[in-house]
């Protein structure tokens, strides 16, 4: 990467806001992924400057939050990785509206809502992603989805222009949003919740947390549900019925606890995980005629 660009990025975010050859295994819940050429952590004011600089130099960039739905290749990522955590963690409640910065972790937002007697976000208490990523993917669990609670979002175009989008404009569907097709970044989300009893809200969150603990392999690194739910089926059930419970390639394995999860048993590579996903998908299609599509987003060089 051009040294001058690196110097300019460092001038924007400071020495503590930039790293060269940063291992992406440190920034994904799978715990795998090679180095990014450059990774920066701009705050809200620095982000537009960094985006304009990347555009000016024609340098590719990508955005990550908590890395909870990513599989980064072992060869790493060329260009600039922009982490949206530092400086993007505002949380405030006004009436029945909760505003969360893109870098706020969903469990923290759910706890904050409970503290303020706001119901509707209980389903998100155990989702390890950020608020921004949850909007982009329309994250959901246990019958709830982000589309149920989003009022509006603020996005930043890559030229630095800020816009507000309503929930309708986001065109939210199963694990998708219009943001995925637009050249913009979610920076803030406003959630329309409902006034409720804090104790009842916490009780529901604890109930869902216990369900997760019982049914999901939380003791291993993973990216959550690995495949999208096929219409009329459940991915985990198809995988189990195909005889693939515990199927393993290197350090990558189909969880024995929940077949919808690919886990890193230790020392897995991104290639092993991708190969396992491909073989599982192919076997399920051969046996049942159903094609499993990855819910996990794959980026970087494999």
Q: Do 137 and 154 meet the contact criterion of CB atoms below 8 Å apart?
A: no
Catalytic residue among 22, 145, 188, 295: 295
Please provide the size of the chain in residues: 302
- Give the separation between CA 260 and CA 160, rounded to whole angstroms: 39
Tokens of 212: 């997760």
Residue bearing tokens 């589309």: 147
207 has catalytic annotation: no
Alpha helices (H) in 61-197, listed in sequence order = 106-115, 131-137
The distance in angstroms from the start CA to the end CA of the chain is: 20
β-strands 150-157, 162-166 pairing: antiparallel
175 has catalytic annotation: yes
188 has catalytic annotation: no
Closest CA to 289 of 238, 252, 247, 253: 238
Catalytic residue among 59, 152, 175, 281: 175
Catalytic residue among 152, 177, 225, 255: 225
Non-local CB neighbours of 241 within 8 Å, separated by 6+ positions: 287, 288
Q: Do 84 and 63 meet the contact criterion of CB atoms below 8 Å apart?
A: yes
SS3 category, 143: coil
β-strands 18-23, 248-249 pairing: unpaired
Residue bearing tokens 């059930």: 237
Sign of the torsion formed by the C-alpha atoms of 160, 164, 168 and 172: positive
The secondary structure of residue 124, as a DSSP letter, is: G
Tokens of 150: 């989003």
Catalytic residue numbers read 175, 225, 295
């Amino acid at each position: 990467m051009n040294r001058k660009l690196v110097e300019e990025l460092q001038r924007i975010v400071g020495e503590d806001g930039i790293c060269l050859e940063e291992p992406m295994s440190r920034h994904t819940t799978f715990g795998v992924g090679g180095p990014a050429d450059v990774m920066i952590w701009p705050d809200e004011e620095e982000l537009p400057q960094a985006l304009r600089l990347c555009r000016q130099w024609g340098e590719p960039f990508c955005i990550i939050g908590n890395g909870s739905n990513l599989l980064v290749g072992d060869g790493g990522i060329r260009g600039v990785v922009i982490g949206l955590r530092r400086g993007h963690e505002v949380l405030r409640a006004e009436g029945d509206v909760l505003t969360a910065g893109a870098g706020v972790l969903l469990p923290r937002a759910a706890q904050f809502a409970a503290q303020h007697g706001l119901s509707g976000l209980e389903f998100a208490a155990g989702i390890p992603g950020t608020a921004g990523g949850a909007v982009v993917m329309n994250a959901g669990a246990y019958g709830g989805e982000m589309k149920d609670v989003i009022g509006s979002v603020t996005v930043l175009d890559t030229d630095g222009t800020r816009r507000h989008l309503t929930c309708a404009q986001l065109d939210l569907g199963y694990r998708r949003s219009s943001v995925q097709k637009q050249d913009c970044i979610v920076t803030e989300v406003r959630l329309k919740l409902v006034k409720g009893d804090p104790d009842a809200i916490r009780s529901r969150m604890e109930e869902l947390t216990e369900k997760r603990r019982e049914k999901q392999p939380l003791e291993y690194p993973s990216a959550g549900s690995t495949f999208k739910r096929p219409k009329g089926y459940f991915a985990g059930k198809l995988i189990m019925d195909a005889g693939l419970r515990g199927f393993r390639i290197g350090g990558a394995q189909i969880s024995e606890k929940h077949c919808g999860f690919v886990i890193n048993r230790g020392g897995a590579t991104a290639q092993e995980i991708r190969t396992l996903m491909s073989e599982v998908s192919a076997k399920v299609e051969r046996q049942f005629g159903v094609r499993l599509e990855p819910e996990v987003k794959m980026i970087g060089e494999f």
